[in-house]
Structure 1
Amino acid sequence: MSGPIKDFAALKSLRAEIKAKEEARKAAEEERLRREKESRRDAELFRSAIGEVAPLRSAPKVQPVTPRPAPIARQHLADEQAALQESLSDEFNVDTLLDTDEALSYARANIGPDTLRKLRRGHWVIQAQLDLHGLRREEAREALAEFLRNAVKRGIRCVRIIHGKGLGSVNKEPVLKSKVRSWLVQKEEVIAFCQARAADGGAGALVVLLKA
């Protein structure tokens, strides 16, 4: 029983870390707003104290034209914050959460066994896929997080993740196979996944079901 407890404790610690970062960001934003409010108040007090003033007359001056800095898109900032909250850990041990069948299927606790059966049989049409061939671990992790985030935005339910069979790697071992499963379990939008059918990639791919 020590294995699952350790895994859930690690997941809980990860969520606590993300929550702490979010709280720190909110605190920094509140402090910035407070300082801006104080600055506006001081400026109003200064203007009230000196009263109306007239500018001194001076000869016209040529003002150099300087380009204004490009505004930072709000959506870009939102995407960066989402990426921070969706950071994935390589230390998360998923083995104890997977079914003991040969396909190492997974479904969240509130998902009935019928969902996995339908997923294995191809009940849901694969609407998008991500091929991780040739990517390093860090690159694959970032690509997977971005792919799932975009899939949820587009309302996609079923996707295929191609991690490969490891035929071209050292010792012919599928390096990304276990990592991809571990990363998927940590994503809240993922409710189930299983090994793809032979026609869809077999042992070299996973079919993933996302939240509606």
Structure 2
Amino acid sequence: MAAHHTPDDDDADLFRNAIGPVRKLPEAPPPPTPPKPRPRARMAELDEADARHSFKFALDESLLEAADALSYRSEALPVPVFARLKRGEIAVQEELDLHGADVRTAEQLLRAFLNDARQHGVGCVGVIHGKGLHGAAVEGRPVDSRGAPVIKNLVDRMLRQRADVLAFHSAPPTRGGTGAVIVLLAPSKRR
């Protein structure tokens, strides 16, 4: 059987003859790789998640009631100074009012407030958390489903977990009583 030529074969031969010898082009460089992601502080994220979990677990264990006083003293604070704090004899330099805030907002505001106070050398602050008497029993509101004041318990737990808090106690009745707390902060270390 004879090979059958098509017009396409003739065109291909004509083209090869017209262009002459060919050489292979160099390989194209590979496309650039996307930049590596920025490093993340994974351990800090894990620590934060663990702290949140522990915080929520601790919150469920022993909830404060509306009339309960907040009270804490670190070993670094002398007992006579703590007694003065309890009597309301230490002047509050700055104050934060958390009335009407939801849990997430209250947590952010309290962290920022304490960090700012410490950064500016403020040694004694007041936090008005309320007693949770007028809130609805809904997640994120002033009281939880058992009637415990959520913001008050949040403030208590957060203050106990901070290394820069030397002591705190509920305010005297004239300054908000069990609806507010006075906090003594450790002096910031000069660098």
Please say whether Structure 1 and Structure 2 have the same fold, judged by a TM-score greater than 0.5.
yes
Distance 1:196 1:208, change over 3 A: same
Whether the 8 Å contact between 1:92 and 1:182 is mirrored in structure 2 is: no
Paired with 2:183 and 2:58, the residues of 1 have a C-alpha distance of 19
Paired with 1:133 and 1:110, the residues of 2 have a C-alpha distance of 31
Structure label with greater radius of gyration = 2
Structure 2 counterpart of 1:190: 165
**RMSD across aligned positions (CA):** 2.9
Shift in Å, 1:155:
0.5
Shift in Å, 1:166:
1.2
Structure 1 counterpart of 2:20: none
Q: Secondary structure at the match of 2:82?
A: helix
Structure 1 unaligned regions, length at least 5:
1-17, 23-83
Sequence identity, in percent?
36
The residue identity in structure 2 corresponding to 1:91 is K
Structure 2 counterpart of 1:149: 115
2:152 aligned with 1:177: yes
The structure with more helix, counted as a fraction of residues = 1
Paired with 2:108 and 2:165, the residues of 1 have a C-alpha distance of 16
The residue identity in structure 2 corresponding to 1:138 is R
The residue identity in structure 2 corresponding to 1:155 is G
Whether the 8 Å contact between 1:131 and 1:162 is mirrored in structure 2 is: yes
The residue identity in structure 2 corresponding to 1:204 is G
Whether the 8 Å contact between 1:169 and 1:175 is mirrored in structure 2 is: no
1:1-60: per-residue Cα shift (whole Å, max 9, x none)?
xxxxxxxxxxxxxxxxx89339xxxxxxxxxxxxxxxxxxxxxxxxxxxxxxxxxxxxxx
Whether the 8 Å contact between 2:129 and 2:179 is mirrored in structure 1 is: yes
Number of equivalenced pairs: 129
Structure 1 length normalisation: TM-score?
0.53
Structure 2 counterpart of 1:111: 77
2:56 aligned with 1:91: yes
2:174 aligned with 1:209: no
Q: Secondary structure at the match of 1:170?
A: coil
Whether the 8 Å contact between 2:166 and 2:185 is mirrored in structure 1 is: yes
Paired with 2:154 and 2:160, the residues of 1 have a C-alpha distance of 10
